[in-house]
Amino acid sequence: MAIIGREPPADIVIPAPQVSARHAEIRHVADDLYRLTDLASTNGTFVNGTRIESQTVRLTDEVRFGSFQIDLRPYASLIPKVAPPPRPVVSPAPSSPSLQAQSSAPMVAAPVAPPRVAPPPIASPPVASPPVVAASVPSAPAPAAPPEAQSEAMQKAPLAPEPVVETVPPPADPPARSAGPTSDMKECPLCGELIKAKAIKCIHCGENIQQHQAEQEAAVERVLFEGNPAAVYTAGQIFWCVVTLGVAYLVYHLRSKKTTYRVTSQRINIERGVLSKSEEMVELYRAQDFELMQPIGMRLLGYSVLVVVSSDPSSKRTVLYGLKNSKELREELRDCMQKEQKRRGVGLRAGV
């Protein structure tokens, strides 16, 4: 008898999670027949697709412990074999009464003849005597031993040396959390714990992720526009350029080159001058409103004037002229102004 289980002291160790510690018992019955018995395992024992409690099987049958399929042939040497029944000892046949009487009669000494000198013996080839064959008496077939005797015989039978069995490592348990972010998970930028990719608020630290990302983006200064205003941005300027044969255009061009705008997500810088320069700066968190003026002469050419109204006493109204796509720039500046005021903790004033 051999015990099949997941770990020692089982006789046949199968380190699979589907196998119980003491899953089944297998014993040799006769020839290539074995008796497989389930030991109240958790996942059950199956033979050829049918769950069994105890059944006679062959090593070539399909055996499964739960969902784990096993081939019993490599483990045949670990299953003790049933010893064949002992043969009865045949006693010699009793001799006849006449022989017994002769053997029991008293021995009479014969007269002793005088010694006679015999001629030297002539060597002759030895004659082989016929072999004596003992008569055997046919014996009746011995009755089958009871299961208790078979179990004792199996326990007394010498165990074969244990072969080297290649153990199957059990599958690793799934990790409680993945090693890094996946398509469905992401790391919280505040506490570093894994949360769902669509999560707005972290379940670990309780912080609003979108608000934190918006604050981080607002803290990074982005350039929205950088360059000079257009030299000619009204229909009237085109008229004077034609009338003066291009002289007015040179004046407009020089004025455009000495003015440089740098508009970012946090401030507006205006630099004026060629040799002597002056710089005007307006912080967006101080801005109150953005006015857009587009007279007919500018609309014909697609230009406009953007006026920034701020609470800074030195820059109440800052004018940016000669700009294209001023509507998009105004909306972008308005969004950046709100983010800057929120980041710096400055509320919007009344009337804005």
CB 225 within 8 A of CB 336: no
Average the pLDDT over each of 136-140, 191-195, 207-211, 228-232 and give the range with the smallest value.
136-140
Report the pLDDT averaged over residues 61-67: 88
Find the DSSP H helices in 157-222. 209-219
Cis omega (within 30 of 0) for bond into 126 = no
CA separation for the pair 254, 320 (Å, rounded): 17
| Mean pLDDT, the chain, whole residue set | 78
CA separation for the pair 81, 77 (Å, rounded): 9
The better pLDDT of the pair 24, 219 is held by 24
Angle between helices 209-219 and 326-344 (to 10 degrees): 110
Q: Looking at residue 200, what is its pLDDT?
A: 81
> In 10 A of CB 177, how many CB atoms?
9
CB 244 within 8 A of CB 252: no
**pLDDT band at 163; cut points 50, 70, 90:** low
* Residue type (1 letter), 60: T
Query: β-strand 2-5 against 12-13: which pairing, if any?
Result: parallel
Containing H/E element for 324? strand 317-324
Q: Which two tokens stand for residue 150?
A: 């078979």
Average the pLDDT over each of 22-36, 110-124, 203-217, 280-294 and give the range with the smallest value.
110-124
**pLDDT band at 155; cut points 50, 70, 90:** low
Query: What 3-state class would DSSP assign to 13?
Result: strand
DSSP 113-124: PPP-PPPPPPP-
Residue indicated by tokens 């920034």: 308
Residue indicated by tokens 């804005």: 352
- Please say whether the dihedral angle defined by the alpha carbons of residues 38, 43, 48 and 49, taken in this order, is positive or negative: positive
Does position 29 have pLDDT exceeding 60, yes or no?
A: yes
- Residue 160, CA distances (Å) to 7, 22, 91, 163 in order: 20, 21, 35, 9
Compute the chain's Rg from CA coordinates. Answer: 56
pLDDT digits (tens, 9 = 90+) for 250-299: 999 999 999 999 999 999 999 998 888 899 999 999 999 999 999 998 99
Question: Residue 303 pairs with which residues in a beta bridge?
Answer: 324
Q: Looking at residue 315, what is its pLDDT?
A: 85
The better pLDDT of the pair 172, 102 is held by 172
| Residue 17 CB-half CA count within 13 A | 4
